[in-house]
């Protein structure tokens, strides 16, 4: 789909790594313009008690993050 609208997108797989850490490392080493991640849509107290990889990337990364529910 990205190619059809002339957007360059790259999918990566980093085996045996913490997802958030690997995403942040690749974002920095490759100079990413945007990171797209999914969210489980937790709300309220469950959201506060349960950490997520998306939350970690939002806090520790430097590129914009598009969160898709």
Tens-digit pLDDT string for the chain (69 aa): 788 999 888 888 899 999 999 999 999 999 999 998 887 766 666 665 545 888 899 999 999 999 887
Kindly report the CA angle at 52 between 55 and 29, in degrees rounded to 5? 60
Give me the phi and psi of 51, to 5 degrees please.
Answer: -75, 165
Q: Which residue has the tokens 């490392």?
A: 25
Greatest alpha-carbon pair distance for the chain in Å reads 41
Q: Beta partners for 43?
A: none
């Amino acid at each position: 789909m990205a190619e059809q609208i002339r957007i360059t997108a790259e999918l990566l797989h980093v085996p045996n790594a913490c997802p958030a850490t690997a995403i942040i490392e690749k974002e920095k080493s490759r100079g990413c313009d945007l990171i797209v991640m999914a969210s489980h849509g937790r709300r309220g107290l469950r959201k506060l008690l349960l950490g997520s990889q998306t939350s970690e990337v939002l806090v520790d990364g430097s590129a914009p993050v598009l969160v898709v529910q």
